[in-house]
Structures are given as structure tokens and as C-alpha cells.
């Protein structure tokens, strides 16, 4: 029986797994336009450089933080896309890393993808994630004299807004 | 016109305003009571008539949109999430329901997709008219185009009131499809309005886009080259004004866009005037899309009933709003409220262009560059 | 070229403008305009879906003022709206299972007193009478910006 040639998404995932066998923990392909890759947070810069130079993912649409108090972790998601290569321009590849909730630190991707500059500032302020190597890590959206905890963590609750 | 001597020096990446100050420079605070498009503060470091650097200080209209969205049900979130950019409400609404429909497994019927497409393109024309009036007109001192564009925008608003019941705050697309069908006299009035609007676009060309004063102020100012635009992650008309042909309606079609025939205007120069022209041409393409959609409108139901629970999982949906690619990530945990809503909109992605472009320019060029980016502070701050 | 641009602005000096003299002349709003709500008390069952779906949590339930028993409403509770919070999205109207809520063209809700912005069920069930008498007609080639406002009686019945 002839084997089917891998689809474009499987091909990408296989290339990443071949290049970083121990840093890529898990991958998920949904539909035709979405790939999620779980990776080890210490290898962010190498994976980012490979994705930008070899695979052609030249920009980041956003950096999101997701708080998960039951598993004691904060996830950081990088939504990457490609403008320069037409064959992959409809893909969104989500790079997802898990950080420990009591001390979330990760290297800053600004040296690889300059488009993450303000997104990382916002994630630092809202979730408390420290991006090491960011040229200008200070508060972006909250008040200048805000001394409280990071606002988007699930510890901050608003009971007057109803059941959550 | 004297040339700026600093342009021969290699340009450095954007630096924070907290760096050491030259003795001849002055820190000027622009804002935050910004009577234009919203509240934004820019700390300008000025040396005579030249701006040395700009540090955008945003957050004056930050309301905690993403946090509040975790306390509202999937449908109740719609009036909340369409408020950040209210003049573009259909796109902000549509981008949010696309991942919810994907998680719940609903497919909107074809007639509903066509109605959503018509409403979205009308909204694109309305948003570009607002941009033309305020960001391109008033910021450069041209108040006549402000009157013209707002007058024509009101005609579209009256049509939207006929379709959805509200002038600006539509809340028109819950998960499953639009809330109402087209009323009886809607199609005739819209087609007459499109004919009238095409004649008005010729007048706009004569009074604004071909006006030598506007060309002198905007041509060659704030040039963003193609590889810089890609590297900085620009989107929308800013990206298309720098020569990159990328539009979510063609790349990942949603709604009825796969069946409709339209073009993406792209300009190569990358200066502010090219960004002005991209939006002007987009208005013409929107007229073409609406006419085709009205002609090809299928019959049948407009919406499906949607469940009230968001199943467990994560989904990403994106639309092409007037300011660029609007991406939503919705995470559900099997309850009626989403557990995380992440909004990535065109205005927040254009923020990095402000310190990058407004360097070594005259002070009078700052409103032109800022206006050509169509930065909407409320949408960027959420 | 500059004179072409200037002509485009100056030519409007000689055109007629149109002003609708509000509050003596009011616009007839299209059907389904999202103004305040109308409550039909004989249809309301007190299920509470309107309060659950409301994004602003502005609906609360109160017993009727005259203490009458309504057979279709077992808990004898009717919605009370707080219009200082309402965003007029009308999800409550769309989601009501019995059709007890309705749209109305009443938008003149301003009050001098904050407490008067809480509308009791009885006040909500009064059908508004201040509907407009002028309808906007789009011609495209005459009037101010292609639109004229004609009195409703002179227009053909649609």
C-alpha cells in the first residue's frame, strides 16, 4: 500500500521535531490553518531563529499569557505567521511554553522577532512574566503608580460581577 | 526645504525616552486629552523643529476588556467586546464569534454569511470615512473633508439603523448567524446610496487626494520599507501601503468572500500618501463587494440555534477589520463563560511603528504619520 | 489643481441645506429600532432568561404593584429595568421565550433624578406615543446630501 505524502502541516512539524528532538514536547494540528507546538521554554531563542530563517515565519501577531492555577503554571503563547512566503501565508503556528507559576521567566524574543516588543511588555504587566533581555520592560497599560499584583491572574476576582 | 542632516546617520532601533538627554533637546508631552481618535500620550523629544524620538505612553483608556470578558457569557460578551473599536463593530463582533462557532461546531447558513458580509463591508466604508474625516482630514487641518465624510457616513448609519436597529452599537452577530434578515426597502435604498457614493468619491479625489497641499504634506513622509513592515509585524492598510499583498479575506476566506470577486489594492512606496490611497481604493472595492453580494444573495434560513455552553478547547479566529488583521483566541472550559479571551488587533500591532517612524522628522509631520497609521487608542488599550 | 479643490468646497455655498426642527419635527424611526423596552405583563412568565443574558445585569425582579395574581407567572415576579446601565442591545427581547418584551422607538429617556431611571414593570408596559412624523427619503440627486425629510402623511404607504 503506498504511503500518503505528508501534508504541509505535518511536514513542518516533522522538520521542527527533527531539528529539536528534545525541545519539542507536543504538537497538534487543527484543520488546515492552525498548528500548536508545545516546546521547552529554555530553547525559545534557538527555535525562534530556526522558524524565522529556515521556515519563513517572519512576524508575531501577539503574545498571550494564560493562567492555570489548578496545574500551577502560566502558559505563554506566541502566535507566529508568515508574510513573505505565499505557500505558508495562511498558517498560524502557536508556540506554547509552560512556566512555573511562582517564578515565571523566559527569554525575550525581541532579538529575533522585533514585533514582540510591546506584546511582551503587556504580558509582563498583566501576568508577571519576566522576559530576560527585553530592552525596555516597564508597565504599559496600567497606572504608573500601580503597585498591586498582576491583574490578569485568576487570584484577582470580582465577586460583584457575578459567578465565575 | 532644508534637508535634515541627521538622515545621513545610521538609524538606531527605538530607544526609551529615559535615555540620556542632549542639552539642546526639549521633552514635549503630546496628549493625553487627545481630541482626535482617543486618548494617547506621546512623549516627544524635540531638538528645534526636529523630533529626535517619541515614546508612546498608552493605557489611558484601558478598561480590562480581556478580564471582564471572563465574567460574561458567550453571547453577553458581544456588546462588551465590540466597544473597543465601536466604529468597526461588526468586525470585532465577527472575529469573536468565529472561534466560538468553531468550538461549538456550528456552521452559519449561506444567507446568513452573505448578510454578515454586506454588514461588514458597509462597516468598512463607515470606518474608512471616519478615518478620512478625522485622522487624515482634521489632523492635517483639512476640515472640509471632515464635513463631507461625516455627512456621507451618516447616510450609511441610517441604513445600518434600518438593518440592525442601532446606529453604531450593532451587536448583530451572535454565534450562529445574524439576528435579523434584510428589511423590505433596504436593498433599493442601499443600491441608490452606492451610486450616490461613487459620485462623491470623485469629489473626494478632487478635494483631498489630488489636492497639491495634501500631496505636499504626505508624500515621502514616514516611509516604511517592505522588509521593515514585515519585520515589525504591521497589518492592514499599513502593510498593503508598503508593498505586501496580504488580506485575510483572500488568505483565509470567511463569510461569503470566497464566492465574491474583488481586488486588494497594494502600493509600493510605503509613505503616508500610499497609506492614504490604500484606504481610498478599499472603499471602492467595498462598493463592488456589496453590489455583488446583493445580487448573489441566496434564499433560506439566516441563522442556526447555538448552544449556551462553550466546550473545552482552544480556537483561533481572524477577520480583516478596517485597521488590519484582528485575531481572537478563545479558550473554553465547558461552562457558559469563556476562560480566556485574547485579542490581537491591528492598532496594537501598529504601535511599534510610532517610535520607529516618528524619528528625524519635522514636528508638523507627526500628525500626518500618526493619522496615516489609523491608530485607534481605545482598540489598542482594550 | 488647488482651484479645483477650492471649487469643490465653495460650490456648496449656493446649495440648499435642510434642518429638521427637533423637537417640533421628529424623525419616524425604522421598525425594530432599539429604544427602550415594552413589557407585556400578561405574557411574562418570570423565567429570568432576560436577566441571565443581560450583559450589564440591569434587570431585577419585583412583584407587581397592584398585587394581582397572574396565572402564567407562578412566582409573581416581573422584570424591572435600570436604564442607567442598559446598553440597549436587546438580547433580552430576542431571547424571551414568550415574546413578552418588544422594541419601541422611544429614546427620550433622560431624567433629572437618578431614581427615575429605574423603570417598574407597570411603567414599562405603557406603549409610547411620541413617534415621529417625518421620514427620511433618499433620492441621491436632490436635497442635502441626497436626503430630504418628508412628512409621513404625504408619502405613499409602504
Query: pLDDT 10s digit of each residue in chain C, 158 long?
Result: 678 778 777 877 777 777 788 888 888 888 889 988 999 988 889 888 999 889 888 899 998 888 788 888 888 889 999 999 999 999 999 999 999 999 998 888 899 999 999 999 988 888 888 777 777 777 766 666 777 777 777 555 44
Q: Select from B72, B76, B155 the Cβ nearest to the Cβ of C147.
A: B155
For the residues B365-376, what does the mean pLDDT come to? 90
Q: Select from B16, B71, B246 the Cβ nearest to the Cβ of A162.
A: B71
Q: Select from B151, B185, B207 the Cβ nearest to the Cβ of C8.
A: B207
Q: Do A118 and B246 touch (CB under 8 A)?
A: no
- B3 band by pLDDT with thresholds 50, 70 and 90: very low
- For chain B, the structural domain boundaries read 74-309
Q: Which of B139, B83, B206, B147 is nearest to B373 (CA)?
A: B139
Q: Do C158 and B206 touch (CB under 8 A)?
A: no
The 3-state secondary structure of chain A, one letter per residue:
CCCCCCCHHHHHHHHHHHHCCCCEEEEEEECCCEEEEEECHHHHHHHHHHHHHHHCCCEEEEEEEEEEHHHCEEEEEEEEECCCCHHHCCCEEEEEEEEECCCCEEECHHHCCHHHHHHHHHHHHHHCCEEECCCCCCCCCCCCCCCCCCCCCCCCCCHHHCCC
CB B80, CB B343: distance < 8 Å: no
Q: Do C91 and B76 touch (CB under 8 A)?
A: yes
Nearest chain B residue (CA) to A136: B16
pLDDT at position C158:
44
Burial class (CB in 10 A: 0-12, 13-18, 19+), C95: middle
Interface B–C counts its CB contacts (< 8 A) at: 87
- Position B357 pLDDT exceeds 60: yes
* Phi then psi dihedrals of residue B277, to 5 deg: -70, -30
Determine the distance in angstroms separating the CA of A13 from the nearest CA of chain B, rounded to an integer. Answer: 19
Q: Do B79 and C8 touch (CB under 8 A)?
A: no
Within 8 A of C9 by CB-CB distance, chain B residues are 144, 207
Q: Which of B328, B349, B347 is nearest to B131 (CA)?
A: B347
pLDDT-above-70 percentage for chain B? 94
pLDDT at position B173:
93
Q: Which domains does chain A have, with CATH numbers?
A: 8-157 (3.30.460.80)
CATH class of B74-309: mainly alpha
pLDDT at position C1:
65
Q: Do B231 and A59 touch (CB under 8 A)?
A: yes
The 3-state secondary structure of B165-193, one letter per residue:
CCCCCCCCCCCCCCCCCCCCCHHHHHHHH
Within 8 A of B196 by CB-CB distance, chain C residues are 138, 140-141, 146
Nearest chain B residue (CA) to C147: B155
Q: Which residues of B touch C (CB under 8 A)?
A: 72-73, 75-80, 144, 151-152, 154-155, 158, 161-162, 164-166, 169, 171, 174, 179-180, 183-185, 189, 192-193, 195-196, 203, 206-208, 210-213
pLDDT at position B10:
42
Nearest chain C residue (CA) to B337: C53
Q: Do B231 and A114 touch (CB under 8 A)?
A: yes
User: Which residues of chain A have a pLDDT value below 50?
Assistant: 1-2
Tell me what ipTM this predicted complex has: 0.90
Nearest chain A residue (CA) to B381: A141
pLDDT at position B273:
92
* C1, C5, C104, C148, best to mutate vs chain B, most B CBs in 10 Å: C5
pLDDT at position B121:
94
pLDDT at position B282:
93
pLDDT at position B2:
37
Within 8 A of B203 by CB-CB distance, chain C residues are 8
- Position B101 pLDDT exceeds 80: yes
Q: Which domains does chain C have, with CATH numbers?
A: 2-27+132-154 (no CATH), 38-124 (3.30.70.3270)
pLDDT at position A3:
58
Q: Do B231 and A115 touch (CB under 8 A)?
A: yes
State the alpha helices, DSSP H only, in chain C: 2-10, 49-53, 91-95, 121-124
- B30 band by pLDDT with thresholds 50, 70 and 90: confident
Q: Select from C1, C30, C103 the Cβ nearest to the Cβ of B212.
A: C1
pLDDT at position C112:
93
pLDDT at position A1:
45
pLDDT at position C56:
86
pLDDT at position A102:
87
pLDDT at position C154:
59
Q: Does C127 touch chain B (CB under 8 A)?
A: no
Asked whether the bond before A141 is cis by omega within 30 degrees of 0, the reply is no
- pLDDT by residue (tens digit) across B212-241? 888 998 888 888 889 888 988 899 999 999
- Position B6 pLDDT exceeds 70: no
Q: Do C145 and B152 touch (CB under 8 A)?
A: yes
pLDDT at position B4:
43
Q: Does C141 touch chain B (CB under 8 A)?
A: yes
Which stretch of DSSP H or E encloses residue C137? strand C134-138
- Name the one residue in this structure whose C-alpha cell is 514536547: A25
- Position B13 pLDDT exceeds 60: no
Q: Select from B76, B80, B196 the Cβ nearest to the Cβ of C53.
A: B76
Grid cell for residue C4? 479645483
Among A38-52, B36-50, B150-164, C100-114, name the one with the lowest average pLDDT.
Answer: B36-50
Q: Which residues are CB-neighbours of C149 under 8 A, at least 6 positions away?
A: C18, C20, C25, C27, C134, C135, C136, C137
* B332, B340, B347, best to mutate vs chain A, most A CBs in 10 Å: B340
For the residues B85-111, what does the mean pLDDT come to? 92
Cα→Cα distances B194→B55, B125, B285, B287, B318, Å: 42, 11, 12, 7, 28
For the residues B116-122, what does the mean pLDDT come to? 94
Q: Mean pLDDT over all residues of chain B?
A: 87
Amino acid at each position: 500500500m503506498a504511503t500518503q505524502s505528508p501534508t504541509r502541516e505535518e511536514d513542518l512539524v516533522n522538520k521542527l521535531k527533527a531539528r529539536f528532538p528534545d525541545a519539542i514536547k507536543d504538537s497538534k494540528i487543527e484543520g488546515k490553518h492552525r498548528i500548536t507546538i508545545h516546546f521547552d521554554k529554555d530553547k525559545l531563542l534557538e527555535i525562534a531563529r530556526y522558524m524565522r530563517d529556515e521556515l519563513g515565519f517572519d512576524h508575531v501577531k501577539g503574545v498571550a499569557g494564560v493562567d492555570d492555577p489548578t496545574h500551577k503554571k502560566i502558559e505563554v503563547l506566541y502566535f507566529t505567521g508568515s508574510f513573505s512566503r505565499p505557500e505558508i501565508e495562511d498558517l498560524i503556528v502557536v508556540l506554547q511554553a509552560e512556566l512555573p507559576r511562582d517564578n515565571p521567566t523566559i527569554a525575550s524574543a525581541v532579538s529575533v522577532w522585533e514585533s514582540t516588543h510591546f506584546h511582551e511588555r503587556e504580558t509582563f504587566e498583566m501576568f508577571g512574566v519576566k522576559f530576560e533581555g527585553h530592552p525596555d520592560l516597564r508597565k504599559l497599560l496600567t497606572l504608573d503608580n500601580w503597585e498591586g499584583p498582576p491583574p490578569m491572574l485568576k487570584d484577582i476576582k470580582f465577586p460583584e460581577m457575578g459567578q465565575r | 526645504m532644508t534637508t535634515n542632516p541627521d538622515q545621513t546617520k545610521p538609524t538606531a532601533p527605538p530607544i526609551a525616552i529615559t535615555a540620556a538627554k542632549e542639552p539642546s533637546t526639549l521633552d514635549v508631552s503630546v496628549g493625553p486629552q487627545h481630541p482626535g481618535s482617543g486618548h494617547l500620550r506621546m512623549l516627544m523629544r524635540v531638538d528645534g523643529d526636529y523630533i529626535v524620538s517619541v515614546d508612546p505612553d498608552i493605557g489611558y483608556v484601558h478598561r480590562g476588556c480581556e478580564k471582564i470578558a471572563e465574567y460574561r457569557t458567550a453571547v453577553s460578551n458581544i456588546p462588551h467586546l465590540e466597544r473597543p473599536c465601536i466604529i468597526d463593530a461588526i468586525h470585532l463582533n465577527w472575529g469573536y464569534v468565529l472561534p466560538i462557532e468553531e468550538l461549538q461546531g456550528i456552521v452559519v447558513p449561506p444567507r446568513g454569511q452573505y448578510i454578515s458580509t454586506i454588514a461588514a463591508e458597509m462597516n468598512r466604508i463607515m470606518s474608512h470615512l471616519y478615518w478620512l474625516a478625522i485622522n487624515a482630514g482634521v489632523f492635517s487641518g483639512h476640515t472640509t473633508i471632515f464635513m463631507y465624510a461625516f455627512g456621507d457616513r451618516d447616510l450609511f448609519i441610517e441604513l445600518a439603523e434600518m438593518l440592525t436597529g442601532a446606529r453604531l452599537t450593532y451587536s448583530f452577530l451572535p454565534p450562529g448567524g445574524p439576528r435579523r434578515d434584510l428589511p423590505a426597502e433596504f436593498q433599493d435604498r442601499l443600491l441608490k446610496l452606492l451610486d450616490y457614493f461613487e459620485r462623491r468619491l470623485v469629489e473626494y479625489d478632487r478635494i483631498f487626494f489630488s489636492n497639491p497641499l495634501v500631496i505636499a504634506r504626505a508624500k515621502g513622509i514616514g516611509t516604511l520599507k517592505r522588509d521593515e513592515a514585515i519585520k515589525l509585524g504591521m497589518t492592514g492598510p499599513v502593510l498593503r501601503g508598503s508593498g505586501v499583498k496580504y488580506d485575510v479575506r483572500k488568505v483565509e476566506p470567511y463569510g461569503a468572500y470566497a464566492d465574491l470577486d474583488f481586488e486588494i489594492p497594494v502600493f509600493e512606496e510605503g509613505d503616508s500618501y500610499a497609506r492614504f490611497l490604500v484606504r481610498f481604493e478599499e472603499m471602492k472595492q467595498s462598493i463592488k463587494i456589496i453590489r455583488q453580494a446583493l445580487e448573489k444573495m441566496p434564499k433560506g434560513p439566516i441563522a442556526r440555534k447555538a448552544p449556551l455552553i462553550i466546550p473545552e478547547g482552544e480556537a483561533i479566529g481572524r477577520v480583516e477589520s478596517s485597521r488590519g488583521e484582528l485575531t481572537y483566541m478563545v479558550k473554553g472550559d465547558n461552562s457558559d463563560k469563556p476562560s480566556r479571551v485574547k485579542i490581537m488587533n491591528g492598532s496594537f500591532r501598529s504601535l511599534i511603528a510610532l517610535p520607529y517612524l516618528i524619528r528625524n522628522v519635522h514636528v508638523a509631520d507627526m500628525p500626518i504619520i500618526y493619522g496615516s497609521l489609523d491608530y485607534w487608542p481605545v482598540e489598542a488599550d482594550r | 489643481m488647488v482651484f479645483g479643490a477650492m471649487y469643490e468646497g465653495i460650490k456648496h455655498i449656493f446649495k440648499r441645506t435642510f434642518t429638521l426642527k427637533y423637537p417640533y419635527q421628529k424623525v419616524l424611526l425604522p421598525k425594530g429600532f432599539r429604544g427602550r423596552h415594552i413589557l407585556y405583563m400578561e405574557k411574562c412568565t418570570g423565567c429570568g432568561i432576560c436577566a441571565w443574558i443581560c450583559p450589564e445585569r440591569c434587570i431585577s425582579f419585583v412583584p407587581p404593584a397592584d398585587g394581582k395574581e397572574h396565572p402564567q407567572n407562578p412566582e409573581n415576579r416581573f422584570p424591572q429595568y435600570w436604564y442607567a446601565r442598559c446598553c440597549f442591545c436587546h438580547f433580552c427581547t430576542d431571547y424571551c421565550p414568550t415574546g413578552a418584551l418588544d422594541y419601541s422607538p422611544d429614546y427620550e429617556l433622560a431624567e433629572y433624578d437618578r431614581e427615575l431611571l429605574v423603570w417598574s414593570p407597570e411603567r414599562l408596559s405603557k406603549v409610547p406615543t411620541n413617534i415621529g412624523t417625518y421620514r427620511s427619503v433618499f433620492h441621491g440627486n436632490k436635497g442635502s446630501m441626497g436626503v430630504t425629510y418628508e412628512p409621513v402623511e404625504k408619502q405613499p404607504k409602504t
